[in-house]
Amino acid sequence: MRISAKAEYACLAVITLALRDRDEGPMPIREIAESRGIPEPFLTQILLKLKAAGIVQSTRGSSGGYRLAKAPEDITLGEILGVMDGYALTPRIPQGPAAPFLAGVWDQLHDSESRVLTRTSVADLARRATAPDWVI
């Protein structure tokens, strides 16, 4: 599975919004971009796609910006990747003489990928982002 920079930036932006207290209001795009080192024009395109998919919502005006459109627990990593890269949770069908030998392995790989993508929520990722970094 190959993850594009666009998909990775989308994940970072959504996690950043999940970490923001809802009482603080929408987060300006510039603040999201600067906090994660994402080029602002690129982030604008990403947020528009996420908005069209119902993952984020925007507010216009001087105190405008972006916020999550639904609870972080209800947004999965697979959903974000699907919006950004068109990732489909369908296995590849092997072709050619090696197909019978590869089909089982590809199915196992697909099942593992699907499990991680559908079970990992933005809330899970936000918790990981704020977990202390223990060094012994």
Residue ranges per domain, the chain? 5-86+122-130
The dihedral formed by the CA atoms of 114, 58, 18 and 133, expressed in degrees to the nearest 10 = 100
pLDDT(132) > 80 = no
- Cut 0.95: pTM above it: no
Q: Rounded to a whole number, what is the largest CA-CA distance in the chain? A: 61
* Confidence class for position 91, pLDDT limits 50, 70, 90: low
| Percent of the chain residues past pLDDT 90, beyond the cut | 62
Q: What is the pLDDT of residue 13?
A: 97
Q: Topology of domain 5-86+122-130, per CATH?
A: Arc Repressor Mutant, subunit A (1.10.10)
Q: For residue 66, give Cα distances in angstroms to 7, 97, 132.
A: 17, 50, 27
pLDDT(81) > 80 = yes
Which tokens is 35 given?
A: 């906090």
